[in-house]
Structure 1
Amino acid sequence: MAKIKEAKYIWMNGKLVPWNEAKVHVLTHALHYSSCVFEGIRCYKTKKGPAVFRLKEHIKRLFDSAKIYRMEIPFSLEEIMNACIETIKANELEECYIRPLVYRGYYDLGVNPFSCPVEVAIAVWEWGKYLGPEAIEKGVDVMISSWTRIAPNTVPPMAKAAGNYSNAQLIKMEAVIYGFAEGIALDAYGFVSEGSGENIFIVKDGIIYTPFFDACILPGITRDTVIRIAKDEGIEVKEVPIPREFLYIADEVFFTGTAAEITPIRSIDKIIIGKGERGPITKRLQEIFFSYVNAEIPDKYNWLTFIK
């Protein structure tokens, strides 16, 4: 992977600081105990100017994640939203990835985090297609991971927390080592859960299936977007337990996520899915999704926040 494209500034605790001066102490609590929650958000270049997709929903999820981990963010939701916009403006970016980060900082070191301050940072940088430039059209080859998704009542999967991504890294690294673009994790009961950083959808006989929250998935913003678009198109969506073998006989399978957007899956465990190419329902959902994020159709859900 290419090195991150450095921008000019990072927002830290209410102030913009130069990129290379955005530092934390090596004994910062989050570095040792994963006491950190975060978001991944995209700003798109549109004909009407730069626009952040579903900013409010992302920041609301950030606050929900922090609440689950008993972290009181020292800024309001509106202040964090405005800080995201301020950071994009300061870096003069027309399109970018946005990473708000809430973490417990430096003070004491031990499992009990309460004495450590809750700090906030927001970084933005240019970023391309997460699974490769051709993935959106051609699809990707994936595998079922040998690693199980985190189990219920162990760590909370509804929080987008740094600690959850230890599990995700194991899934991703295994897939990469074996020559696949991504891995799909099963839940603790053997049902389909999600990718290392994406939700998953299955199309069979014109119906869309996707795991529900009880499969220990992250409540994805793009997942919610796709469900709304599908229902608008009159396509039935069922949130149900999905057995592993259902993936192999699907007509279409695709990932969703802020980074992955809507990415077709062409094979799983070297079994070709459908015709081994992007299917018609996946293509239609992509077309509508990209029309929304690029401000090419009316924004009836108020999903776009324009940078003015």
Structure 2
Amino acid sequence: MMADREPAASPGLRPGRWAYDRGEFVPASDARLPLSTQALHYGIGVFEGIRAYRSAHGLFLFRAHDHYERMIRGCRMLRIPLPGKPSELVDLTVELLRRNAHSEDAYVRPVGYKLSLLPGMPPGVFLSGLSDAMSILTYSLPTQRLGAGVRCGISSWRRPPRDTLPAQAKITGGYVTGALASDEARAAGHDDAILLDRSGNVAEAITANVFIIRDGHLVTPPTTGDLLPGITRDTLLTLVREAGLPVTEQPVSPADLFSADEVFLCSTGKGVVPVLAISGRDIGTGAIGPVTTEVHALYEAVTTMPGGPHAGWLTSVMETP
């Protein structure tokens, strides 16, 4: 007989006690979707990952307004109206974080999706004639420090081109490619994978953007390519330019990866992640490099400095006592 309960969540990714689900705050364990949910069948949804960082000054959402602006743009492509402007969605998220009272860094996962066929609509794949919904979960998820770095492989799976799947939005159905690349990478003993585009240039890692460093110069693939314009990527471009570090957005080939002095990945979930080897080849000395260390320090500082030059990136979560 099959169990009638879902397995326990990983200790590192247990949702908070409360969730926002289809217009109201509900106990996270009570939220349920019908088996006919259209997003489940066809991947018609858009999500975001937003970080909340805890410091001595309190808990702060990082660039939440920018995340929700990107989410609204993505949902617009799929004809999914969200329940409010970016500022109102940020307010919903702040309230949810207050209710869940995370004692450490947190991760926020909002998702907008197609729910059910409206009366009179036949079964099929549509963007119209469907009801829409939005849900938000929050998780306690400590920030990964610089750590020991990761080892990547070059995936045999290609990043879908933007005229096949819009690259500028986090569309739920598109992440099956990342799942395939992840499975392939882990089976080969790698921690992550780097996906190429149809031209054979670097697109992105499974859920992260890619930077290389050569002679102290940072290079990252341009957003005109088949990659998500990451908000962490944009943050780092701003910070390194302010710090006087040279940076260029241009195509990056696999040969550029192998010959780089340093390589790192960046994402909302993981921050700055050094890459020590790719496809069995050490990058540079095979150790975390000085530029990656500096970029990580710049990013870590801006996420925990409410009074700094980028204070507008932080939204305070005024927790109840």
Q: TM-score range by the shorter chain?
A: over 0.9
| Among 140, 145, 160, the residue aligned to 1:126 | 140
Match in the other structure for 1:19: 28
Residue 227 (str. 1) matches residue 237 (str. 2): yes
Q: Percent identity?
A: 31
Give the drift of 1:296.
7.2
CA distance in 2, matches of 1:63, 1:80: 10
Superposition pairs of residues 180-219 of structure 1, within 5 angstroms: 180-219=190-229
| Among 262, 280, 289, the residue aligned to 1:279 | 289
| Conserved? CA contact 2:80–2:132, under 8 Å | yes
Match in the other structure for 1:242: 252
CA distance in 2, matches of 1:10, 1:127: 16
CA distance in 1, matches of 2:41, 2:290: 46
CA distance in 2, matches of 1:298, 1:75: 29
CA distance in 2, matches of 1:84, 1:6: 14
CA distance in 2, matches of 1:296, 1:105: 38
CA distance in 2, matches of 1:74, 1:283: 40
Match in the other structure for 1:166: 176
Deviation per CA, 1:237-279: give whole Å up to 9, x if none.
1111111111011000000000120000000011000111111
| Conserved? CA contact 2:78–2:127, under 8 Å | no
Deviation per CA, 1:186-242: give whole Å up to 9, x if none.
001100110010000000011110001232110100000010111011111111111
Give the drift of 1:36.
0.3
Output the TM-score relative to the length of structure 1.
0.95
Give the drift of 1:50.
0.3
Match in the other structure for 1:88: 97
| Conserved? CA contact 1:148–1:186, under 8 Å | yes
Deviation per CA, 1:32-64: give whole Å up to 9, x if none.
011100100110111110001111111111101
| Among 247, 251, 257, the residue aligned to 2:261 | 251
Q: Which amino acid aligns with 1:184?
A: I
Match in the other structure for 2:188: 178
Deviation per CA, 1:96-138: give whole Å up to 9, x if none.
1000110011235420131211111110011235xxx57x232
The more displaced of 295-304 and 255-264 is 295-304
| Conserved? CA contact 1:184–1:195, under 8 Å | yes
CA distance in 2, matches of 1:296, 1:85: 16
- The number of residue pairs the alignment matches comes to 304
Q: Which amino acid aligns with 2:101?
A: E
Q: Which amino acid aligns with 2:136?
A: I
Give the drift of 1:159.
1.1
Superposition pairs of residues 107-118 of structure 1, within 5 angstroms: 107=117, 109-118=123-132
Residue 154 (str. 1) matches residue 154 (str. 2): no
Q: Which amino acid aligns with 1:64?
A: R
| Conserved? CA contact 2:79–2:127, under 8 Å | no
Match in the other structure for 2:55: 46
CA distance in 1, matches of 2:96, 2:303: 20
Structure 1: where are the runs of 5+ without partners? none
Match in the other structure for 1:261: 271
CA distance in 1, matches of 2:132, 2:273: 35
CA distance in 1, matches of 2:245, 2:305: 23
CA distance in 2, matches of 1:71, 1:268: 39
Superposition pairs of residues 284-303 of structure 1, within 5 angstroms: 284-295=294-305, 298-300=308-310, 302-303=312-313
**Secondary structure at 1:106 match in 2:** strand
